[in-house]
Structure 1
Amino acid sequence: MTTTDIEASRALLAEAAAARGFSAQGATLIRLAENAIWRLTADIVVRIARPGQEAAAAREVAVARWLSAAGVPTVEPLAIDQPVLAGGRAATFWALLPPHEAGTEADLAGLLAQLHSLPVPTFAIGRLNPFVRIKERLVASRAVSEEDRAWLLSHLRELEGQWQSLPGSRGDCVVHGDAWTGNCAVIKGPFRRAVLLDYERTSLGPPEWDLTSTAIEVDTFGSLSAEKYRVFCDQYGYDVMDWAGYPTLRGIRELRLVTFALQIADLDPSARSEAHGRVDCLRGRRGPRPWGWNAVG
């Protein structure tokens, strides 16, 4: 992230804010990555999506409004016509959450149980594609050897085949798509309240996809205790590890995490060791799970 990147994003913010009568003066940058997130002084959060994501941004707003109407606690989009196009990128406007902290696995499980029980919405939501951007990251990576790249691409093809022949699941429903505790916020105060956020990957798919995100914290990362995982399963009412299709979803999640690390390593050489270690794990060079992966990015 450079000063030029920040200033370019700030210019997009000013254009989008002005289009809906808001001022970007004094705005604070929350995060600048694939999406840019800013806080206006009016306690409004503006999310500027990647180029070409207008439909996805509109769907995020529609999903949040649908969840709110269904009584599922969620971050709230402003009641304005949105998204707004600025410089060819879609910007969406959200009410700033009160002081909050990341939710627990139990908080997340309760919200997922509510989400997964809802009927399919009337607006188009699309089907889950768990492989989005994996191949592109592998092809573009400069941090991976050619031999490892070829193996990972072959592994991707195997997983794509397994995805097409998954054993019977609990039935497709609306899934969050990126269900981890970082996308579950708990409002601080006397009345503790957990809310969902970030609907970039929300779509129709097997609910097991959402549950696998927490399962691999035990199984792959080794960062979540068996006791906390049991609380998660009890709160949701199901253990995805008992499902015959779980190894396939775990494999897809792991490959996504490997390619994300490789993408980061292209920009930050200090992440190369972690990225290469993850590749070694998939290739059987680091012994059995859990592998103790560390966060990158």
Structure 2
Amino acid sequence: MSFAPAATLDAAALGTRTAPVTDVPLGADAGQHAAPSAAPTEHGHGAAAPVAAHHATDERTDPLPLPTAGWGVGHALDAVAEARLALPFRLPRAHVVSALTTVVLRAGRRAVKVYPPGTDPAHLAATAEALAGTPFAVLPVCAPVVTSGGVVTVSPWVTGGRSADWAETGALLRGFHDVHADAAVPLWDPLRRVVSQVAALPDDAAAVLLAARTALLDAVAGLRSELGVGTVHGDVSPGNTVRSGVTPLLIDLDFVARAPREYDLTSAARRFVAGEIDAAAYRGFCDAYGFDVLTWDGRAVLDRVAALGGVAFRLWDDVHHGRAHDWLDDAVREWRTPL
């Protein structure tokens, strides 16, 4: 699949993510495309985890920014109306399916996703091109369209009943990892949102969270992967699968990156440890994938990365809904000791 440059219109010119705050996808930087450094190993010791360069005062542009205050469904609908003029096909009338940090709509046999303004269309297009032809995921059918209300992508709407179960998700993920091991996807850039989300905090609180970010990124850079470094989905759960007939497929590929493959397994492990899924479901996931990340000594670091990512998201969510950060003092005390 090869896309033409993203279409741009010259017209003038949400809700919140509901995932547990300890399981927020952490994504990769679209500006960090690199040739593969090492193919994943088969349960042998792999390379150290690759991460994009990081600094406590990192000012790089986030390719997938969180929405600013006030952006939501109305803006997304306006964006879809503008995008119709640039799409290479007729788009049926669309209705809203979900409003999270993006807005998803259904338009006949098409799934329309609207990202907030500032989203990098090149990031979205590059990921789709890197995964072109995949039998494991649903990809956009055309280039992203940039409008005054946001960036619009269009994919097939897959209707196949229930999502995959955990065992099916494990098998699906293993296939995705193996087939796309060397895909030219961005380097993993965890915790990039911490910098922007602490900017308005008191100096001491911001300093503690930024120091925790630096400590965790240093720890990530020193991890040794048993599964090897490869392409990860970045937000794994049965909820991010759909079914085409009897075949499960991955969706929501925004956070695909080049990272330790174990990262995609830690979501299931956290849910198991927290009691969200039972032992049978977790064992089914591990058996289908072929590895239990609970046995890996780097898991604690990735769990803390996910937890600090949750803090960044919670800061944004409070501002988005006009809530006070009445939990922040406790969080700052906790994050004075990142590991």
TM-score, normalized by the shorter chain, greater than 0.5: yes
* Matching residue of 1:45: 111
CA contact 1:264–1:271 (8 Å) conserved in 2: no
* Cα distance change, pair 11–244 in 1 and its aligned pair in 2 (3 A): same
CA RMSD of aligned residues (A): 3.1
* Matching residue of 2:138: 75
Deviation at 1:179, TM superposition (A): 1.5
Report whether the alignment pairs 1:199 with 2:253: yes
Report whether the alignment pairs 1:172 with 2:229: yes
Aligned residues: 269
CA contact 1:126–1:203 (8 Å) conserved in 2: yes
* Cα distance change, pair 115–167 in 1 and its aligned pair in 2 (3 A): same
- What pairs up with 1:132-281 in 2 under 5 angstroms? 132-140=192-200, 148-187=205-244, 192-219=246-273, 221-268=274-321, 279=331
Counterpart residue identity of residue 17, structure 1 = R
Structure whose residues are more often helix by fraction: 1
* Cα distance change, pair 112–21 in 1 and its aligned pair in 2 (3 A): closer
TM-score by length of 1: 0.78
* Cα distance change, pair 121–245 in 1 and its aligned pair in 2 (3 A): closer
1:167-198 CA-partner distances (Å, limit 9, x unpaired): 243211111111122212235xxx53211111
In structure 2, how many angstroms separate the alpha carbons of the residues matched to 1:277 and 1:222? 27
* Matching residue of 1:95: 156
* Cα distance change, pair 9–168 in 1 and its aligned pair in 2 (3 A): closer
* Cα distance change, pair 99–60 in 1 and its aligned pair in 2 (3 A): same
CA contact 1:44–1:96 (8 Å) conserved in 2: yes
In structure 1, how many angstroms separate the alpha carbons of the residues matched to 2:90 and 2:225? 51
Counterpart residue identity of residue 179, structure 2 = L
1:234-283 CA-partner distances (Å, limit 9, x unpaired): 1111111211211111110111122212221223367967x659838945
In structure 1, how many angstroms separate the alpha carbons of the residues matched to 2:259 and 2:332? 30
1:123-157 CA-partner distances (Å, limit 9, x unpaired): x421111222122223346xxx7655443332222
User: Which structure's relative contact order is higher, taking Cα pairs within 8 Å and 6+ residues apart?
Assistant: 2
> Structure 2: 5+ residue runs without aligned partners?
1-13, 16-69
* Cα distance change, pair 171–266 in 1 and its aligned pair in 2 (3 A): same
Deviation at 1:121, TM superposition (A): 5.1
* Matching residue of 1:29: 96
Deviation at 1:227, TM superposition (A): 2.9
> Structure 1: 5+ residue runs without aligned partners?
285-297
